[in-house]
Structure 1
Amino acid sequence: MKLILRADVENLGSLGDVVEVRPGYGRNYLLPQGLAMVASPANLKVFEQERNKLQARMDALRAEARGLSARLEALEVVIPMHVGENDKLYGSVTSTIIGDAIAALGVEVDRRRILMDAPIRSLGEHPVRVRLHADVIAVVPVKVVSDHQPVAEEEVEAVAEAVVEAAEAAEAVAEAEAGA
C-alpha cells in the first residue's frame, strides 16, 4: 500500500515521503491517526496545497521539543534509592521512577519516551536519553544516591539554581525561535 506521510513517522519516513507499507499498518494506524494519506494523483495535489501548513506545524513541534530539551539537559535528577551492603541497590531505577522524578522537578515527560537499554542498578551518575521528537533527543543526567545519606543543603540549593537556569534557558530559546 502506497501512502504519503503527513508527519514525520519514526522508522518510516518524514513529511511528504511516499512510502510503501503493509496494508494493515496503513489502514489500522497511519490513516486513522492522520499520519498519512493514500498516494493517488488527486491526493498528491491536495498534499502539495497542505504542505506549508503541515511543515509549519512540524517546525513548531520541533521548536517546542528543543526548548524542552534545553530545560531537561539543565536539570539534575537526584533519585534516592534504598541500598544494602557494598552499595548494592534493592531493586532498580526504571523509566517510571525517572519520569516521576522529572515530573517532581516541574517538567512533564511521558515515561514511554525515556530510552533505557536496561534499568539502572548502581549508584552514581547515569546519562538517560529522552526522545522528545523524531529529531530531538535530550540527555538527562540522573544521579542515583543512597537514601541513607543525608543530602547536603548545598546540593539542594544547586538543584534549585539549575531548575531556575533551565527555565531561563528555555525562555531564551523560545524567544529566539519566535523571533526567527
Structure 2
Amino acid sequence: MDVILLERVEKLGAIGDVVKVKDGFARNFLLPNKKALRANEANRKVFEANRAKIEADNASRRSDAEKDAKTYEGASVTLIRQSSNTGQLYGSVAVRDLVEALEAAGHKVGKSQVVLAKPIKAIGVYEVKVQLHPEVAVPVKVNVARSPEEAEMQASGVDVMAAMFEKDEAGFIEDFDPNAEPGATAEVKVVADAPEGEADEENSEA
C-alpha cells in the first residue's frame, strides 16, 4: 500500500514522502495513529492544502520535545528484581515497568514512547530509548539488580555476575586446598599410566 507520511517515521521517510508499506503495517499502525494517509488523489490534495499547517504543528511538537529532552540528561532508573544464581530474572522487565519507574522519577511518558525490542530477562545495566517525538529520542539507563547494593555496584561499572563467579571459584579452591592462598588457582596433577613392561618390572622389583 502507498501512503503519505504525516510525520517522520524511522526507516521510512519524512513528512510528505509517499512510501510503499505492507498493508498490515499501514492498517494496524500508520493509519489509526494518524501517522499517514492512503496515497490516493483526494488525500494528496488534502495533504498539499494542509502541508504548511502540518509542518508547523510538527515543528511546535518537536520544540516541546527538545525542551523535555533536557530533563532526561543523565536519566537512569533502578529496578530491584529477584533472579536465579545465573542472573536470569524470575519474570521480566517490560515497557509497563519502565513507564512506572520513569513516572516515579518525575518524567511524563507514555507506553508508546518507550522503545524496548524485547523484555529484559537478566540483571545488568541496559540503555533504553525514549522517543519523545519522531525526531527527538533520549537514552535512559536501566539498572536491573537484586538489591540496592548490587545496583550501586553495577552503576559504578562492576559486573556483578562475573564478580560472583570469581567469588564462588575462590571458595571452591579454598575448599579443595585449605592451605591455598586467597585467589590462587587450583593445580591438579594428572599421572599417566605406565607402559605395561615398566609396570611389570616395578612389580617384580617390589
Partners of 1:97 and 1:62 in 2: CA distance: 26
Partners of 2:109 and 2:32 in 1: CA distance: 26
Paired residues of 2:69 and 2:132 also in contact (CA < 8 A): yes
Judging changes above 3 Å, is the alpha-carbon distance between structure 1 residues 22 and 104 closer, same or farther for their aligned structure 2 residues? closer
What root-mean-square deviation, in Å, do the aligned CA atoms of Structure 1 and Structure 2 show?
A: 3.6
Judging changes above 3 Å, is the alpha-carbon distance between structure 1 residues 144 and 39 closer, same or farther for their aligned structure 2 residues? same
Report Cα offsets for 1:40-78 as digits up to 9, x if no partner: 3x7655533422211111111222222333322432211
Map of 2:69 onto structure 1:
69
- RCO higher in structure (CA 8 A, sep ≥6): 1
Residue 92 (str. 1) matches residue 92 (str. 2): yes
> Structure 1 or 2: larger helix share?
1
For structure 2, the 5+ residue unaligned runs are: 156-206
Map of 1:108 onto structure 2:
108
Residue 78 (str. 1) matches residue 72 (str. 2): no
SS of the residue corresponding to residue 14 of structure 1 reads coil
| Structure having the higher Rg | 2
Paired residues of 2:115 and 2:128 also in contact (CA < 8 A): yes
SS of the residue corresponding to residue 50 of structure 2 reads helix
One-letter amino acid of the structure 1 residue matched with residue 31 of structure 2: L
Partners of 2:104 and 2:113 in 1: CA distance: 17
Give the % identical residues: 32
Task: Give the Å deviation of 1:101.
Answer: 0.4
Paired residues of 1:5 and 1:36 also in contact (CA < 8 A): yes
Paired residues of 2:76 and 2:140 also in contact (CA < 8 A): yes
For structure 1, the 5+ residue unaligned runs are: 156-180
One-letter amino acid of the structure 1 residue matched with residue 144 of structure 2: V
One-letter amino acid of the structure 2 residue matched with residue 97 of structure 1: D
Map of 1:56 onto structure 2:
56
Task: Give the Å deviation of 1:27.
Answer: 7.4
One-letter amino acid of the structure 2 residue matched with residue 136 of structure 1: V
Kindly report which structure 2 residues correspond to 1:141-160, keeping only aligned pairs within 5 A, or say none: 141-147=141-147, 149=149
TM-score by length of 1: 0.62
Paired residues of 1:83 and 1:147 also in contact (CA < 8 A): no
Count of residues in correspondence between the two structures: 152
Judging changes above 3 Å, is the alpha-carbon distance between structure 1 residues 83 and 26 closer, same or farther for their aligned structure 2 residues? closer
Partners of 2:67 and 2:38 in 1: CA distance: 30
Partners of 2:80 and 2:22 in 1: CA distance: 46
Map of 2:195 onto structure 1:
none
SS of the residue corresponding to residue 48 of structure 1 reads helix
Judging changes above 3 Å, is the alpha-carbon distance between structure 1 residues 38 and 115 closer, same or farther for their aligned structure 2 residues? closer
Paired residues of 1:82 and 1:148 also in contact (CA < 8 A): no
Map of 2:6 onto structure 1:
6
Task: Give the Å deviation of 1:150.
Answer: 9.4
